[in-house]
Chains A and B, each alone.
Chain A
Amino acid sequence: MGGGAEVLERSVHQLVPNLAFGDAISQQALTLRRILRALGARSEIFAEHVDAQLHGEARPYRQLRDEARDGTVALYHFSIGSEVTDLYRLLPNPRILVYHNITPPEFFRGVNAEVARLCARGREELRALRAHCTLALADSEFNRQELAALGFEHTAVLPILLDPERYRVRPVRRLERPYRDGHVNFLHVGRLVPNKRIEDVLKVFYFYRRRINPDSRLFLVGIDTDMEIYSVALRQMIHDLGLSGVAFAGRVSQRELVTYYRLAHVYLCMSEHEGFCVPLVEAMHFGVPIIAYAAGAVPETLGDAGALVLRKDFAEIAELAAMVCEDPTLREALAARGRARAREFLPEAVTPLLERLLGSV
């Protein structure tokens, strides 16, 4: 990990509004802290809210004000409007904004007005932060271009890291046994939020299960906190379609998550707005063939490692899923490409870039 002398002598602290279990941004903060400490830097996470499961992993965010001295690097993970932004503005340079994208508020119309308001506020705050950062990092080129369009001067891409240690856990047998039964398992991982267009995942699965292979099921792994109206709407669509075989897994442990990836035959993503899409990298890591709609940062994250949907023709996508499941050559080729692509997000691939970027501020 050479070339990071500047990093070793510094404190590099991270600021996040929420440190939540299973959340991609929180996981990125934890992985970065581990890497920064391995590089010799003093590194802490400061957060406004901390999940009970991550108790002790972060300090109250207001303490960063006293901690930040000359030369201390503050990384602010930004994805929604919050009180934390006010504190970040008061910190001395060098300050690095890490932009994870903000979902356009329109997606939350008819689902949660408060979340829509926070997203709109986040976009306002983002504009105002142009004058408050030495460097603006984005976890994809898609996000970086948004920053550049808003007038951020110094921008760069630092992708989200895949920490392989987190996935070296035993699968959960009580989950694995009943679902490894010869049925085809579709998988979608991620919060039940409208921008992910899970209704479109349901439509693809409808054509597959109803007209191609009834011995199949769809796992929807992810929580619906604050998105309960959307969650109910999805269940009503399932009811109206007369569709069975859909399992809402909700919040899962890391071992359960790994089990779902191991059970999956195909990963389906119909999202229309993604700043990065961590589940794609996870699916690639596990060699699960991916069918994903080309929106936001999805084509960039996926690279050449999956089937990229250009137009939502649900019956045709279902047929493609069938081919991916039935054709071992196609399936193996996609899995191999996925594994190779996932390696590009491993710490050993990303750390030199992190060191260079930190050395530049």
Chain B
Amino acid sequence: MSTPGARRRRGFSLGVVVVGLFVVPLGLRAVNSVVRPPDAAPSYIPSIESPRVRGPFDSAAVAALREADNDYILIGDSMAGTRIDPGHLSRLIGGHGAAALFHPGSGPAYWYLTFKNFVVDAGLRPRVVVFFFRDENLTDTLFRVYPSALDRVAGKQEPVLDDILAARARGTFYRLHGAIRRLYQYDQTRAWLEPLLIRAPVAWSAGQRDRKQLLESINNEVFTLEALRPMVAADMAAVSGEALDFDRNLSTSVLPEILRLSKASGIRVAFVRVQRRPTADGPPAQSPALQKYVRALWRYLDSNGAIFHDDWGDPDQPLSVYEDGDHVKKAFRRTYTEIFFRKNPEIFR
């Protein structure tokens, strides 16, 4: 039998461990104040990010767009990238052709910033800007908010996007996440520690001459998209629940802001919902909630003067043209481009 004194000591030791668990990480704040890079600056989306060193805005891309003065600008992620051949589309359209601003792994925040900063604020006036998306992507604001990618298209301050993200990140999980982030400032530590960790093995892996470009070569030559094997299961996650409540999510999405910019600038916008991977028997299954969501989206876009096109159920896009997940085969790219051109007279009128 243990004595009351021993029990007290054991209870005290539990308390010490629990306190240590939550107090020791506060040391990160002290470490940050010493190690923090001098050029760390407040983020353009401070509601979800602490100050950090941001990547450069891609002004060269904007200059190239100004130079090309395209009639059509296409925005989207790899779904559009694997489907649209911009050169072929330009030949089909004639005139000043089309520019593709596709970024793999991007989401609505990236698309909104691209439209705002690369097109509207840059003074471009294409006839139509087309957004490609899947299912509920347009109103899923926190889908793929990757700051390192957003840097390329974000301005110095993005108060509208920040407000939208803040409004979306109001749930218990995000509030807790934000509180922990502000308390420990761990993302500031991560901002300088992670690059150190990733670069450290370079010195042990290659001679002096090859070190400089090693990471770039690994990314651009070893792990290229062409080197990947097809993965049937890739990128197939279907959504359900609250994400499919259009009315609930609309006000905290970038969609109204895209439409506002469109009206203010006089640039017409179109939205193309690409088809997810079909089954052997026909188009991909759609839950009643998803069908309701798509109907509401269509009505909303229509009432705001935007064009909506839905690829779902297109007999010209059977399972056989798909490769991995929702991506289509490279060989189908030209054909899809022609289908897109042929079936969207409203866009290419």
Partners in one complex: no
Using CB atoms and an 8 Å cutoff, list the residues of chain B in contact with chain A.
Answer: none
